[in-house]
Amino acid sequence: MKIVNAEFLKSAFVEGDWPKDSRPEVAFLGRSNVGKSSLINSLLSVRGLARTSSTPGRTQSLNFFLVNDEFKFVDFPGYGYARVPGKIKSSWGEMATKYLAKRRQLVLSIHIVDSRHEPTKQDLQLHDWLEESDKPRLVVATKSDKLSNNELRKNLKHIARVLNDDSILAYSAKSGGGRIELWRAIKSAIEQGD
Ligand code: GTP
Ligand code: MG
């Protein structure tokens, strides 16, 4: 995919803020600090477009990015960070389920997990929601650069078993490993969703 233009569109805290245009959307969801924003920046080759942070729980709104004037990326807040206030924590599920169930522009949900870690309870919950929403979804195991090839292979197998999903893609925002395969999946979802 040739990125001609990528720009921040808006942050949405409530449904009324969601962009009104009909261009397709790809959503990036996952645990706090798992590397959602880094993955978006790496896919778009723009450093700092989506705000990354070593402080978990930084993104609290849905952040929309417009790519090539053709489609949008949606950076979700992370879930599962203990120090996020209770009120925000409970609104996460509400906002996510609403978006996943209602958003007609959604053509692909990318569920990002950490290739080093066991999927959490909330990962399993999100996985169920995505299954229920009955729309294309893809699990991406990121930070693969932190593992040896052997460990990565072993962990991908394990994550696939736990999430009951056999098509897991390994990714590294650091090395760009997996970028071509992930773009292929995104492109195909956008074309089919049109
Ligand atoms: P929240 O928005 O707070 O939920 O976090 P996030 O999921 O957007 O994570 P973010 O992209 O901010 O990354 C969190 C930390 O992980 C940062 O310090 C990143 O530099 C680091 N990180 C993200 N992806 C990778 C990766 O593929 N490899 C390595 N080595 N580090 C990564
Ligand atoms: Mg983020």
Tell me: the pLDDT tens digits for 68-81? 999 999 999 888 76
Q: Is the CB of 52 under 6 A from ligand 1?
A: yes
Residue-wise pLDDT for 112-169, tens only, equals 999 999 999 889 989 988 988 888 999 999 999 999 999 999 999 999 999 998 889 9
Q: Is the CB of 38 under 6 A from ligand 1?
A: yes
In this prediction, residue 52 carries a pLDDT of 74
167 or 194, higher pLDDT: 167
Say what the pTM is: 0.94
Dihedral sign from CA coordinates of 109, 110, 112, 115: positive
Cα→Cα distances 57→88, 97, 111, 124, 181, Å: 10, 19, 17, 19, 28
In this prediction, residue 40 carries a pLDDT of 94
> For strand 106-114 and strand 71-75, is the pairing parallel, antiparallel, or unpaired?
unpaired
Residue of 11, 39, 52 with the most ligand 1 atoms within 8 Å of its CB, for mutation: 52
Of the ligands numbered here, which is closest to the C-alpha atom of 55? 1
The Å distance, Cα 55 to ligand 1 centre, comes to 10
Question: CA-based angle 86:89:91, to the nearest 5?
Answer: 110
In this prediction, residue 194 carries a pLDDT of 67
Bridge partners (DSSP) listed for residue 29: 111
Tokens describing residue 91: 């609104």
Residue-wise pLDDT for 85-108, tens only, equals 665 566 777 888 889 989 999 999
Give the separation between CA 8 and CA 146, rounded to whole angstroms.
29
Backbone φ/ψ region at 63: left (φ over 0), alpha (ψ -120 to 50), beta: beta
Residue-wise pLDDT for 32-80, tens only, equals 889 999 999 999 988 778 777 666 655 678 999 999 999 999 999 888 7
Long-range contacts of 95-101 (CB under 8 A, 24+ apart): 95/62, 96/29, 96/126, 96/129, 97/129, 98/15, 99/18, 99/27, 99/62, 99/74, 100/27, 100/129, 100/130, 100/133, 100/135, 101/133
Does residue 96 sit in helix, strand or coil?
helix
In this prediction, residue 78 carries a pLDDT of 85
Give the separation between CA 178 and CA 182, rounded to whole angstroms.
6
In this prediction, residue 190 carries a pLDDT of 96
Of the ligands numbered here, which is closest to the C-alpha atom of 33? 1
CATH number of the structural domain 6-193: 3.40.50.300
Q: Is the CB of 60 under 6 A from ligand 1?
A: no
pLDDT tier, 183 (very low <50, low <70, confident <90, very high otherwise)? very high
